[in-house]
Amino acid sequence: MPVFKATMKSLKAVLLNISIYFVIFIVFGDMTAWGSSSSTETIFEETKLDVVIIDNDNSALSRGLTEYIDKTQDLKKAKTDDLRVINDNIRFNIYDYAIIIPSGFEEKVKNGEFKDAIEYISPGTNSSEYLLTKKIDTYLNNIVIYLHCGYSKDEAVKLTNEKMLDLSNTTVTLADNKEEYHRSYFRGIFTFNGYSLLMMLAISISTCLLFMKEKDIRNRIAVSGMRFGKRNAGIIGAILLIGIALTGLTILAAVVLNRDTTYDKIALYSMNTFTLMFIGLGLAYFISAITSDESIINMLSNMIVLSMCFLCGTFVDTQFMSPMILKLAQFLPLYWYNKAIVFINNTPASNIICTKFLTYLCIELLFALVFFAAGLVISKKKEQYAV
């Protein structure tokens, strides 16, 4: 019991670090999970852009186009007609899209020259901006067709607006509701937890083990008359309690922050997270075996965990990585943790407990054993050569 209490007290030295990484998890984990989450109900939903229009023509056609944009997008009032200022507003995301209707616009359209009749300003960073440009081209093309068919300007505008608005009200019904089309909030936040939990465990457990290796502490324990097995049981018990507490805290935070409506897979995400806990404990033991300097513990923890996060799909989705990097990532434990998360996300809850999922968990546990084994070898060599 004294060894257990001493190990737990040593945790006070890193409470600030734990708090920092937990806050990072709460803030940035929630942001990334919410930003990347999607559902089958909204995956094909049209995105409305903040659009400003500078109408220098003020004709029936330009007013008709403005009316169409107003009904399909979020039309904002331009505070200036200075193109440089508007361009800056677009670049700084104050607006998403700007339409400049020059003088003589109506005459150009009447002559069928609608391709270059309008100027656009957009960042060009997403498909919604491209689609809006295509919609405007289609709108103007329809106007030209109606005019060439003998309709008046007002009739052409009215008929085009009706047709285009009908198209905008199109709905999509998915006949195939596979789980893989839905990126859940839990997938995002538990993916980010691969970084936060490993950092918290690596730093906290390494520091506790380092404290218990101090010469003064070892001498006190040695003269206490406590048996070897009892001493190590106290240390192991404290370390496990710290690991379980930190892991449980991150899972609880994910549940509280959850933006989805279902919790049917939370037990499976938790199972994978507790498996990750053993990787964190093994990594902490490995790091504590390498060094007895607290500053180096922080440096090694950041180097190892951040490298794995960038290579294994925590910070950058694996679909954007080259096959060579993915092959390299297979030799890192966080890759299999993220593979298990994707599998949970893409599979119905009733089908997740299978050979494939259990294989992912076993591979994670094997990596944890590798870290523990490497730490034992290093510790033994240090004792052997009195390093």
Q: Please give the chain's pLDDT, 387 residues, in tens.
A: 666 777 677 778 788 888 999 999 999 988 888 877 765 445 455 678 889 999 989 899 999 999 999 988 888 888 888 888 888 888 888 888 999 999 988 888 888 777 778 888 888 767 778 888 888 889 888 988 998 888 888 898 899 988 888 877 655 555 445 555 477 889 999 999 999 999 999 999 988 888 766 666 655 655 555 565 566 677 788 889 999 999 999 999 999 988 766 788 999 999 999 999 999 999 999 998 888 888 888 899 999 999 999 999 899 888 888 899 999 999 999 999 999 999 999 899 889 999 999 999 999 999 999 999 998 888 888 767 655
The verdict on residue 190 lying in a domain is yes
Strand partners, 55: 101
Residue that finishes a domain, picked among 102, 135, 168? 168
Give yes or no: residues 288 and 377 share one domain: yes
DSSP state of 169: T
Record the pTM: 0.66
Kindly report the backbone phi and psi dihedral angles of residue 54, in degrees, each rounded to the nearest multiple of 5, phi listed first.
-105, 105
List pLDDT tens digits, range 32-81: 888 777 654 454 556 788 899 999 898 999 999 999 999 888 888 888 88
Give yes or no: residues 247 and 364 share one domain: yes
| Residue given tokens 């404990």 in the structure block | 281
Determine how β-strand 119-121 pairs with β-strand 97-101: antiparallel
The verdict on residue 178 lying in a domain is no
- Cα separation, 18 vs 258, whole angstroms: 22
Q: Return the closest-CA partner of residue 136 out of 110, 155, 109.
A: 109
Overall domain count for the chain: 2
**Residue 5: both structure tokens together:** 């209490």
Residue that finishes a domain, picked among 128, 144, 168? 168
The verdict on residue 247 lying in a domain is yes
Are 347 and 367 a contacting pair, CB within 8 Å? no
Domain of residue 118, CATH code: 3.40.1710
Give yes or no: residues 204 and 267 share one domain: yes
The verdict on residue 176 lying in a domain is no
Give yes or no: residues 219 and 343 share one domain: yes
Give yes or no: residues 214 and 99 share one domain: no
End-to-end CA distance of the chain: 30
**Type of residue found at 179:** E
Domain with 372, as residue range(s), is: 2-40+184-384
Alpha carbons within 13 A on the beta-carbon side of 175: 0
Give yes or no: residues 222 and 350 share one domain: yes
